[in-house]
Amino acid sequence: MTQTVAPPAAQPPPHAATHAPAWRAPDRHLHLLDPHAAPLTAAQARHALRGAPDGTHLLGAIGFTPQDPAAFHLAHSTPPTSTSSPSTAASSTSASPTGTVVLHAASRPVPDAFEANVAHAAAAIARGELHKVVLGRTLDLQLHAAPDPRAVTARLAQGAPDAFVFGVPLRDGAQLVGASPERLLSKRGAQLRLRPLAGTRTRHADPAEDLRRAHDLLHSAKDRHEHALMIAAVRETLAPLCCELTVPDAPRLVQTPGLWHLGTSIHATLRDPGLHVLDLVSAVHPTPAVCGVPAPAARDLIGTLEGPRGFFAGAVGWCDARGDGEWAVTIRCARLRGPHARLFAGAGIVAGSDPAQERAETAAKFGTMLRALGVSPVDLEGAL
């Protein structure tokens, strides 16, 4: 009796699975084929993928605007239950650190200046110049010792197992790390899924107060208005590309370890299943969740008040040779280089926004990365 044996599936290089995943999501992990390789541009990456072995993916990050940088790497996908645990070095330090020594901390803009920016934006909204703008700020930390990016992403994954956790090497030797709760879009053939977020409350350790805050967010006219602006803009972008578009009438609560959000799960069917996920990302990004409405006016105001964002508030994710993939919004993130960490957080400004509350929201959003770095917000009160 002759037995037919199927050829073995394509396997990653022997070293690929020994590195900590550069992308962690509930359904897959991605390992860089060469963590020390120089990042590729988007055009270089597409060309490299065409000549790569079957099963190779691209993992990458793009900036807030098309003029901002991009960084792509070849990667291999593994199921989360396979050998996707962090490397030994990362695992040994993945427990939450305590007492990380901060030599210097500074935010840009400083708290008072950020509140002034919010007031400036609110006045522009009142004059009818725009409807919403997302203002961000950075927090620069000079640490006593350089954090291990593998250990940082491992702790992020432990703290937020449902998030999109990433660690993407950049061209200057830095790493872009984070744990994004927001799916920009996922493409499988003709099927699209999105879950934009807008509207936030800080969570509370007391369960009753935590639920009160969630209820307040769900029924807040201001936050529902902010969310509706975003959904309308996303619908307008997707409608010409889709033959079916399903958008719920109302948002739902989305919880993360530190925050409540309003989120809407959108499902769509593309008219052209051959559209590449990177082209769809370019069409949708940046959404009003990180930019504003209308987008041109919001971008201009962001450029005036903040300057270039680079990778912050960009998009991070993967694609395969078929043009399918999944991308998240680059939030709850930091740029690590040696002992220096630069964190980013933003807040959506609409009519009725309170400058002090919006500053407090950005301070709460810094918390995701601060916990992963072992830095207590109490030690940074003047900078937050």
> Which residues are catalytic, by number?
132, 182
**Residue whose entry in the numeric block shows the structure tokens 């301070």:** 363
The residues, any chain, with a CB within 8 Å of residue 51's CB and separated by 6 or more, are: none
Tell me the residue ranges of DSSP E strands in 248-370: 252-255, 259-263, 266-270, 292-293, 315-319, 325-329, 333-337, 340-349
**Residue whose entry in the numeric block shows the structure tokens 């390992």:** 31
CB 249 within 8 A of CB 261: no
C-alpha dist (Å) from residue 147 to 157, 330, 338: 16, 20, 7
Token pair for 369: 């990365």
Measured between its terminal Cα atoms, the distance across the chain in Å is 73
CB 256 within 8 A of CB 181: yes
The residues, any chain, with a CB within 8 Å of residue 352's CB and separated by 6 or more, are: 122, 222
Nearest to 339 by CA among 166, 38, 103: 103
**In a 3-state reduction of DSSP, which class is residue 11?**
coil
Helix (H) / strand (E) containing 358: helix 355-373
CA atoms of 279 and 194, how far apart (whole Å)? 15
Kindly state the DSSP code that residue 36 receives in the 8-state scheme: T
Nearest to 143 by CA among 384, 330, 379: 379
C-alpha dist (Å) from residue 241 to 191, 291, 315: 12, 22, 20
C-alpha dist (Å) from residue 79 to 17, 29, 33, 85, 321: 11, 6, 16, 11, 18
Q: DSSP string of 172-207?
A: TS-EEEEEE--EEEEEETTEEEEE-EEEEEE--SSH
CA atoms of 217 and 219, how far apart (whole Å)? 5
